[in-house]
Structure 1
Amino acid sequence: MRAHARLNRSRERQIMAAAITEDCINCGACEPECPSEAISFTDGDEFYVIKSDACFECVGYYDAYACQAVCPVECCVPNENKRETEKQLIDKALKLFPDDEDLGQKAAANDYPSRFRT
């Protein structure tokens, strides 16, 4: 069974741009890589989770999910239940980081890293 098909059911109900599957081994490699600190592990969680309001799929910062790039078991995957466009994601990034002048300039010029452009 593919990793993205095995989303934890309780997590699946939450709307998020990316998801961490039950294959997570709780290594913690993903957490410091997230530019918006959207990944966390708290007591009661079975594995790391992604906060939906803070995940912008790294659009504007990287050309792939930063979490996925470092995950040794490839459990950071797109959430098929929450599809967002590149425009929605760059707008979310700009809202999360209003003081990031470099991001603002790249967005205004439509010249920024994005998994949609690779």
Structure 2
Amino acid sequence: MTRHLFAALAIAALVSPAMAQETTGTITGTLDGAPASWTFSATQSDFVWNTNSASISLMGWPDAAPEGFAMISIGFGLQQGSPENPEVLLMPRSDGPALFGRDIEITLTEVGIEGEVLRLSGSLSGVLG
């Protein structure tokens, strides 16, 4: 089974323990044309920021995931502001198969760090199967 994911990212990944339970971002879009959205929180998301690179791991819980699907995991590296090696995993709600991303493209319109807050916005598309 393959699915096509098209989505917009709006993330502020907070690492401050006092803000760990706060919603930090959303991903909204479509999965095979069906509306889908997930909310990210700092308790399950993380990033490591260096001078020229970063590693970003985001875990989202469904607001309006297509039937049968639950959590989404998105990970990628940044090399001088450009996304590289993107990974996407869409988990089933029950016994169904997990869907792994391939041909994933991430385009960032904003990326930056302010203190302990990582800010990202952009789009993601690819095939899950």
TM-score range, shorter chain: under 0.3
Which protein, 1 or 2, shows the higher relative CO under an 8 Å CA cutoff with sep ≥ 6? 1
Richer in strand (by share): 2
Tell me the TM-score normalized by structure 1: 0.28
Tell me the TM-score normalized by structure 2: 0.27
